[in-house]
Amino acid sequence: MNAQALKTETTTDRHPLAGQAMSGAEVIVQVLADEGVGVMFGYSGGAILPVYDAVFRYNAEHACADGSEPMPLVVPANEQGAGFMAAGYARASGKVGVAIVTSGPGATNMVTPVRDSMADSIPLVVICGQVGTAAIGSDAFQEAPISNIMGACAKHVFLVTDAAQLEATVRTAFTLARSGRPGPVVVDVPKDVQNTALSFRGTGELALSGYRTRLRAVEQATLGDADCATFFHALMQAQRPLIYAGGGVIAAAASAALRAFVDAFGLPVTTTLMGLGGFDSTDPLALHLLGMHGTAYANYAVEDCDFVLALGARFDDRVAGVPDKFAPRAKFIAQIDIDPAEIGKVKPVGWHHVGPLQRALERLTAYGRAHGFKPQLAEWHAHVAELKRVHAMNYDRASALIQPYAVLEAINRHTRGRAIVSTGVGQHQMWAAQYFDFRAPRHWLTSGSMGTMGFGLPAAIGAQFAHRDKLVIDIDGDASIRMNIGELETVTTYNLPVKVVVLNNVGDGMVRQWQKLYFKGRFAASDKSLHKKDFVRAAQADGFEWARRLERVGELEATIADFLAFDGPAFLEVMIDPDAGVYPMVGPGASYAQMITGDFIASRAAAVVREDSSSHMF
């Protein structure tokens, strides 16, 4: 390359603002813009004011032709709401979600969303203000040791005490959040660092040589011919192979690759709670959800299968509560994951690959097709179809009380698996997972591993910012929505057409179900019948023009249609049967063969309900 060409390339690659004088706060905002951040969520406070001011000035200077802000900062009712909004945005879009909060209580309010995102492998970058560097450790006003607190919850935490490292640190935070197994990264920035005069470089990240070396090894990992041959040798010996797909399918954008693999080799697919939407749940080979509250037919298929291919799934306790009893007839288990720590962690595997899931599936598909492998699975397909017919989801359709399942079925008929659905945590969460169709990834947003009540409403807000033109529905419970009910006002403040459904069974339904089964009906602290909350009036007070309560079965269909058709924010409270339960249910210490299917779903074995069982699986 000649000198002129080198000079041209260097000039072209140079950031247009390189060398410009900026404050630390302005550097943070410029890096956010360079990373393509389209919206941020956060609540202001003293220690983050320089960044908030820089955001304000950036948006004013770069206003769009229509007057809108290029990088709006959405203000919630509290910081936990901001964290879940950022997580909802990330889950729905696949991009890194961003939250910006102040020090002390502002930052500690972010702990739960950060841990929730870490548990579900969701990419976030959280910018926290911090007291000045000279005051750190002095118990200054609104000081909290965030690097210590968040260190146990996040993928990584940075405390920036050297202003010269600020730009590279924020840029590195995005790389860490989205690379490998995604997760939340926290950047704690003292106020004096935000105010320091700096020269913007426009490029560069921290070295992190150990992380980058490990990441490079994983991302460059490939399946050789011998690896593929071993896999297909085992697969061709199987008569009842099954794919167990987790949230990693969605995180890796491997849905299309999974579809191609299934089309080529005909393996039925069951998904975890986090994997819903990774494979079209309306497909004949889809078995929907497996696990503790999975469909009976999926769990029976796991009992019957002789080969398991685990994709981006970690055999967690909600799926493999008793590992030795999970897939007891499987002669061969294969596992593909981006995280080497997950390989064989719970269940020994006979074949594994650590690397990008999409590329691994594409390689296996190409190899299998090139070598003419075509498993003969007609009998297994017929068996799966029969399981789905005989053990279909069902409930008391003749009840005079509104059944939650009927509400969700009615919504599903309108949305046809195309709505973005978020949930709180509890019975309503499981009912939504069971009774909705999910035809594409990133349409199902729920707190899986952490099970955080109050997740649904702010996550729906974040998702609506990610997809302004899509139907976003929060399916919530009367107990769960209380946790972040202040975000109803956020919906109307930003005029978001989010649809909120509260399935009201006057209490903590999932807790009561366990108390009924394992604690002889002692409903300690789970009965909310004495509470006085009027949810409809609360929604109206927060600006919802459409806010109604549904109490009669005969009005269900018309009300649902009107609710979904409303052009703007809408709130629907449904008074459901307080005794409605989540079935199927695999109790603690039980195998899938022993699951409780309730009165309306056919079972092929006696269920196990032991009052002396440990209830650690709640």
Question: How confident is the model over 121-135, as pLDDT tens digits?
Answer: 999 999 999 999 999
CATH class held by domain 224-389:
alpha beta
Answer yes or no: CATH 3.40.50.970 is held by domain 404-575: yes
**pLDDT surpasses 90 at 4:** no
Question: How confident is the model over 404-447, as pLDDT tens digits?
Answer: 999 999 999 999 999 999 999 999 999 999 999 999 999 999 99
Task: Output the pLDDT for position 529.
Answer: 79
Do 15-218 and 224-389 show the same overall fold? yes
CA distances 576 to 140, 395, 410, 533, 580, Å, are 49, 13, 14, 16, 8
Q: Which residue type does 354 have?
A: V
**Distance between CA 254 and CA 311 in Å, rounded?**
10
The dotted CATH code for 15-218 is: 3.40.50.970
**Distance between CA 294 and CA 286 in Å, rounded?**
13
Bin 202: left if φ > 0, else alpha if -120 < ψ < 50, else beta. left
The mean pLDDT value for 63-80 works out to 96
Torsion of CA 394, 397, 401, 403, to 10 degrees: 30
Strand partners, 352: 335
Percent pLDDT > 70 in the chain is 96
DSSP state of 4: H
Task: Output the pLDDT for position 605.
Answer: 72
**pLDDT surpasses 70 at 617:** no
Domain parsing of the chain, residue ranges: 15-218, 224-389, 404-575
Average pLDDT, the chain: 95
Q: Is 89 exposed, middle or buried (0-12, 13-18, 19+ CB in 10 A)?
A: buried
The mean pLDDT value for 395-411 works out to 98
Strand partners, 124: 97, 184
Question: How confident is the model over 583-592, as pLDDT tens digits?
Answer: 999 998 999 9
CA distances 252 to 360, 366, 579, Å, are 11, 19, 39
Task: Output the pLDDT for position 616.
Answer: 56
Question: Which residues are catalytic, by number?
Answer: 79, 141-142, 191, 510
The mean pLDDT value for 83-92 works out to 98
Question: How confident is the model over 299-345, as pLDDT tens digits?
Answer: 999 999 999 999 999 999 999 999 999 999 999 999 999 999 999 99
C-alpha closest to that of 129 among 95, 92, 100: 100
Tell me the pLDDT band of 5, cut-offs 50, 70 and 90.
Answer: very low
Tell me the pLDDT band of 618, cut-offs 50, 70 and 90.
Answer: low
pTM of the full predicted structure?
0.95
